[in-house]
Amino acid sequence: MTKMNNQNTKSWQARISEATDAIAQEFVESISYDWRLYRQDIAGSIAHAAMLAKVGLITETDRQAIEKGLRDIEAEIDRDGPKWSGFKPELEDIHMCVESELTNRIGEPGRKLHTGRSRNDQVATDLALWIRDAATKQLPAQLVDLCKAFASIAERSADVVMPSFTHLQRAQPISAAAEALAWLQMFDRDRERLSCAGRGYQTGLPQSPLGSGAIAGSSLPIDPAFTASIFGQMVAPQSSIERTASRDQACDFVFACAMIAQHLSRWAEQWIIYMSTEFGFITIADRYTTSSSMMPQKRNPDMLELIRGRCGNVYGDLFGLMTILKGLPIGYNRDLQEDKRIVFRAHDTISQCLIMAAAIVNSANYDAARIEPTLERGFLDATSLAEYLVTKGIPFRTAHHIVGTLVARCEKENKHALSQLGVEAFNEVIATKSDLRVDAAIFDALGAKNVVQRYQSAGAAGGRPLEEQLKEWKKRLGV
């Protein structure tokens, strides 16, 4: 009988009587994208070999040969990337490509490596480790860069007063720095959400899938707690069935990416509006704009528009992953192979957008010369006037009615600002609701710049609270 020793023979080939059809082989391969798991796959295999040696299923000599062979393979992939010669589509995935190459190099010790494990718990472990790295290292670092960019523009814009908007209508005056810090707050919360996704949103330490086997564990005396301890901040699986079947962490991660995408899209939309001729609140570097093939005057915010557009791709990734999972019975199913395409794509989209967003923010400035000429339009100080009247003993609802009447009077008299009214006009309207009379001190509560300096509630968009916010963010970000 001829032994099956072809280096490209699949690990399960003995059970299947026919060679895989070429079309089917191309259809099932995943090495074209899951090669990106090579570091996690090799780290998992080294940990698994250490455990096998600890419990006496392989010798220390075997373990050393396995680790050296894997380290050599890792160094080659570090150098060659997806062009590494060991990536063979006929071997289907990263796990078999690495194991096959290892066995070719070191012989029998390589054939012992898969003792007590399955590709099912192997891929679940690799993906968990990959998500942990992406969610706690790379993407958070890019979010910090973006937060630093917003802190920087906040600092250089602290003296710029601008309108805020609700319903896209002018609302209350704010410092431009306050709006920048609002975006910073949003993206910092994304960083926290990613960190939770990296841990799998568990109250305790996340469970390592390694040791769960194909679904039911192993009759061999393996020690999953030992491999989990090697990974760090992980514990042994509590249910081998659940650990091989679950992709909750992938869903958490893609959801976190979708939230970042949403926040990036909202910010991009805001700045697209601010860059328009009608607003003119923001300028960004020309290198992050394009022009028109027909209209030579155009300066288009294409990079911001693409960030806004790519939000939809990440939303689609989240929906796609949830849809794949919705009908799966518990246990591993080959449908789960598709999770990596989605996770990697969502990650890559967000990573690219974060890099671009930080570059744009670092190049941007609020245009005070464009903002100030129309700053007093829209009665931005109306709420401040109502609150001033509250400090004089008038109930807020009454004060609200008084100021609304004053605004209507301004519009009737073609005045665009409350400060254009005299003290007599104020008292005339106030007299219809209260015995209070005001004097010229009322003008301290009027005008956008005065209002911004009067804010005193926690987190407010001006005054001392804003100074404290900026100081605290600079301290947290180390800038």
Task: Tell me, yes or no, if 292 is annotated catalytic.
Answer: yes
- Token representation of residue 73: 């393979």
Residues 6+ apart with CB under 8 A from 214: 118, 120, 121, 244, 332
The b-or-e profile of 252-271 (16+ CB within 10 A means b, else e) is bbbbbbbbbbebbbebbebb
Distance CA 112, CA 222 (A): 13
Q: What is the CA radius of gyration of the chain?
A: 31
Six-digit token string for 79: 């150098």
Strands of 193-316 (E only): list them: 282-283
Cβ–Cβ under 8 Å, residues 385 and 445: yes
The residue behind tokens 């605290």 is 472
Q: Tokens for 16, please give them.
A: 């299947």
- How far, in Å, CA of 10 to CA of 14, rounded? 8
C-alpha span between 468 and 110 (Å, rounded): 60
Q: How many CB atoms lie within 10 A of CB 135?
A: 25
d(CA 314, CA 351): 12
CB 235 within 8 Å of CB 205: yes
User: Torsions phi, psi of 174, nearest 5?
Assistant: -140, 160
Measured CA distances, 256 to 9, 156, 262 (Å) = 40, 30, 10
CA distance 45 to 39: 10
Q: Which of 17, 167, 219, 293 is catalytic?
A: 167
| Helix (H) / strand (E) containing 305 | helix 302-326
Query: Which of the residues 276, 291, 292, 416 is marked catalytic?
Result: 292
Q: Which one, of 280, 300, 275, lies nearest residue 290 by Cα?
A: 300
CA-to-CA dists, residue 17 to 7, 118, 196, angstroms: 18, 22, 46
Buried b (16+ CB within 10 A) or exposed e, 273-307: ebbeeebebbbbeeebbeeeeeeeeeeebebbeeb
| Structure token pair of residue 360 | 């744009």
Residues that are catalytic: 167, 292
